[in-house]
Amino acid sequence: MERIPILRMGSFLLVTIQVDMHDRLAMTLQEDLTRKITETGARGVMIDISALEIVDSFIGRMMSHISSMARILDATTVVVGMQPAVAITLVELGLSLKGVHTALSVEKGVRYLEQSATSRGGGRINGRRSR
């Protein structure tokens, strides 16, 4: 079965999207990714879309969904490598990629995730407040 590989790099996960996404593939990716976050305790997810020349509302929504799911599992998501034409199309389509952070390159994405992990603190339970 077709799957998009999820690579572990330290405390982050990297997903490179190269193929046309369809419903089932997107579902599988979301399932694989959430499972992998819990398995590895990853603090961040990078989605590389440098291969995509077109980002439609379906992929836009998928990225928002992944970002929201990851956030619940205490991981930050950053989309890296967006082509200029894709940014133009997204704005023209009125897609704001709500809640999705972006970075120009993987290296900048890693830096963003590291800062984000540091500012959230080291523990996975720092979201809890004592009463």
Torsion 12-33-82-87 (CA) sign:
negative
Q: Which is nearer to a copy of itself, 5 or 94 (CB)?
A: 5
9 part of the interface to a copy of itself, by CB under 8 A? yes
The single residue among 38, 57, 105, 118 that binds a copy of itself, judged by CB under 8 A, is 105
19 part of the interface to a copy of itself, by CB under 8 A? yes
Size of the site for a copy of itself (CB under 8 A): 19
Q: Which is nearer to a copy of itself, 60 or 109 (CB)?
A: 109
Rounded to whole angstroms, how far apart are CA atoms 46 and 66?
Answer: 11
10 part of the interface to a copy of itself, by CB under 8 A? yes
Strand residues in 1-119 grouped as ranges (E): 6-9, 12-16, 44-48, 76-80, 101-103
Residues of this chain, 50-69, that bind a copy of itself according to CB under 8 A: 50-51
Residue 73's contacts (CB-CB under 8 Å, 6 or more residues apart) are 34, 37, 38
38 part of the interface to a copy of itself, by CB under 8 A? no
Q: Which is nearer to a copy of itself, 96 or 107 (CB)?
A: 107
3-state secondary structure labels for all residues of 54-80: CCCHHHHHHHHHHHHHHHHCCCEEEEE
Residues of this chain that bind a copy of itself (CB under 8 A): 3-5, 7-10, 14, 16, 18-19, 48, 50-51, 81, 105-107, 110
